[in-house]
Amino acid sequence: MRIDRIELRLVRLPLVHFFETSFGRVHDKAFILVRLLAGGLEAWGECVAEETPYYSSETNETAWHVITGFLAPRLLALDVDDPRQVFPAFRAVRGHNMAKAALEMAAWDLRARAEGQPLSRLLGGARARIASGVSVGIQDSFDDLASKIRTELDAGYRRVKIKIKPGWDIEAVRMVRERFGPIPLMVDANAAYSLADADRLAALDAFDLMMIEQPLDYDDVSDHAQLQRRLKTPICLDESVHSPRAARDAIAAGACRVVNIKPGRIGGFAESIAVHDVCAAHGVPVWHGGMLESGIGRTHNIHLSTLPNFTLPGDVAASRRYFVPDLIDPPVDVAADGTIAVPTAAGIGVAVDVDRVGRATLRFEALTP
Ligand code: NPQ
Ligand code: MG
C-alpha cells in the first residue's frame, strides 16, 4: 500500500495541572499530530517532542523541519505494507527519533487498520489490560505533593514515581514514606545529578525504592555503571537508552537493572520491540514511559505495553490527569484496580475527535507524493 497524503498539525492543549521536572515547569503541551491517508483508511501518530530541547534535543520545530524536508518524502516513496521497513527507510537521517517515531507509529496504526486487527496484536502483545502508575511532578510544597499522591493512590494506581532534583529529593522521599508507608515508590531525576552526588544518591537506599530513574547525564552510560556499583537501589535508564544498541551496551556495562521504553525516544515501535527483546534476553524488566501524550499517543503506548517483558507498571495513566477534554472519545480511563483496558477495535482502536483537534490546531501542512 502507498500513502496518498500525510497531514501534519501542530496543536496545543492546556494541562489539567502543571508538570515540573528537574528542568522546569510546563502548563501546556504543544505537539505535532500525524494523519496518514491511504487506500480509503486514515491512521494517526503523535510526535512526543515539545517546545523546548530540555528532555531531548528535539523540539516541535526540529521535528516539523525534519518530517517535512526529509522523512515524509521517504515515507511517501515507500510501500508501507510492512511497517518494519519504515525506520530503515529513514536511515540516511541521523537522530531525530521522535520525528521518525511519529510517522512510523502512524504506519503501524495504518497496517493494523488495514488488517482489521488491534495494534497490540500486530505488535506481538497479548494482555487485555495494562498496569498503570503515575509520574508526580515537583510541587510547591510537601503538603501539595502528599495531597497529589493521596489522590492517585485513591484512584487505584499501582505505583507512584516522584520527580526529584537537588533540593527536592531525600526529604521529599522521607516525607512520602512517613505519610504513605510501603507503597510501590520510585524516583526520576531526569539527569539532574553527577557522580559527585553519589553520597546523596546512596542515601536514597534507605527508603526501599523500586528504582531510581536516570540520575546522571542524558547521554551517559559509564558513570551510571559506576554509580550502580555503589547503590543497592536499581538504576533505571530513560534518556540514555535511545536504541537497541544503547540498551545492549548499558546492560553489558552494568549501568541499569531496569529500562524505561518510550517509542518516541527510540525511533518507533520496531526499534522499541528490539529494545524490549534485548532487555528480555538479559533478564532486565521494562516499563512504558510517558511524555504527556494526548489520547492519540497515549493509546499507541497502551498497545505497546501489552508485550510480555513490560512487567512493571508504567507511566501510562488516564487521560484526565493531563487533558480534559482529551482528543479521543472515549478518553483513557483507569479501573479501581489500577489497570487500563487495551482497545480491541482495529488499529489504535479509539475515535479521534476531529472538531477538538481542529480547535487546538495552530499550523497545518499536507504532503503528497
Ligand atoms: C520522564 N515524563 O519520564 C518524562 C519526561 C518529561 C511523565 O515523567 C513536557 C512534555 C514536559 C513532556 C517533562 C514523565 C515534559 C515531558 C518531562 C516529558 O522523564
Ligand atoms: Mg524519565
CA-CA-CA-CA torsion sign (232, 238, 239, 243): positive
| Residue pLDDT, tens place only, 40-64 | 999 999 999 999 999 999 999 999 9
pLDDT of residue 270: 98
CB atoms within 10 A of CB 362: 10
In contact, 291 and 60? CB cutoff 8 Å: no
| Residue pLDDT, tens place only, 126-146 | 999 999 999 999 999 999 999
Q: Which grid cell sits at 294?
A: 494526548
For residues 100-108, give the mean pLDDT.
98
Mutate to test the pocket of ligand 1, among 13, 21, 135 (most ligand atoms within 8 A of CB): 21
Is 0.95 topped by the overall pTM? yes
Asked whether 188 lines ligand 1 (CB < 6 A), one says: yes
| Residue pLDDT, tens place only, 226-270 | 999 999 999 999 999 999 999 999 999 999 999 999 999 999 999
Average model confidence (pLDDT) for the chain? 98
Task: Compute, in angstroms, the gap from residue 213 CA to the centroid of ligand 2.
Answer: 6
Question: Which residues, in sequence order, are bridge partners of residue 310?
Answer: 286
Q: Which grid cell sits at 119?
A: 495494534
In contact, 126 and 294? CB cutoff 8 Å: no
pLDDT of residue 259: 98
Please state the atom number of ligand 1 nearest to the C-alpha of residue 188.
Answer: 19
Asked whether 241 lines ligand 1 (CB < 6 A), one says: no
CB-based contacts of 129, cutoff 8 Å, min separation 6: 335, 339, 340, 341, 342
What is the amino acid identity at position 230? R
Q: Which residues are catalytic?
A: 163, 262
| Residue pLDDT, tens place only, 189-226 | 999 999 999 999 999 999 999 999 999 999 999 999 99
For residues 32-44, give the mean pLDDT.
98
| Residue pLDDT, tens place only, 157-181 | 999 999 999 999 999 999 999 999 9
pLDDT of residue 358: 98
Asked whether 264 lines ligand 1 (CB < 6 A), one says: no
pLDDT of residue 295: 98
In contact, 324 and 170? CB cutoff 8 Å: no
pLDDT of residue 233: 98
